[in-house]
Amino acid sequence: MKRYLFFFFTFCFSFCSSVQATDPGESAYSNIDREQQQLKWCFIYSNMLGYNISYINNPRLYKLTGEWLGTPYKYSGFNKNGVDCSGLVSCVMSNSYSKEVNGTAKDLFHKSRPLSRNELKEGDLVFFKIKKNRISHVGIYLGENKFVHASLKKGVIISDLYDPYYEKYFFKGGRIIY
């Protein structure tokens, strides 16, 4: 079934990619923007179609991820007008799993059981040490090495754990202890 999901999203990306911007001065940066928009629409279309993927344990997590994509970053933000990384985790986890999860990235790490990268499952948290070698960033693992998080510059986006930047700062995964 995972292979089926991969082909479904590949189709979505191919379809969305066929609509190219006509501005000849478009930069590589706007290609990243377009990729994020494509991801957002793939989540929205799969939700609209009632696409049921049996290997996904919590489809609501993916629906909410799609709804939050593109939300701007705002320090201590907690809603769709602006959100930071821990605010995003708190909102998505509470609405996906009906469990209250709050605190800073560091607090969330201390509320979870540490995991290695190869132990990560859908809905686990991923922690990064970006600032001064301390836990300063958190996201939600979606599977296939992808995670959703609130980026300072881009707002809520989906990134890959093996992107050189995130691979450099990745610390550990964590599973919230309820």
Confidence of residue 147 (pLDDT cuts 50, 70, 90): very high
pLDDT tens across 19-63, in order? 344 444 445 555 556 556 655 555 555 554 454 444 567 778 888
pTM: 0.74
**SS3 assignment for the chain:** CHHHHHHHHHHHHHHHHCCCCCCCCCCHHHHHHHHHHHHHHHHHHHHHCCCCCCCCCCHHHHHHHHHHCCCCECCCCEECCEECHHHHHHHHHHHHHCCCCCCCHHHHHHCEEEECHHHCCCCCEEEECCECCECCEEEEEEECCEEEEEECCCEEEEEECCCHHHHHHEEEEEEECC
Out of 12, 42, 91, 137, pick the active-site residue: 137
Of 12, 85, 91, 110, which residue is the catalytic one? 85
Is residue 85 among the annotated active site residues? yes
What rounded mean pLDDT belongs to the chain? 79
Choosing from 12, 42, 91, 149, the catalytic residue is 149
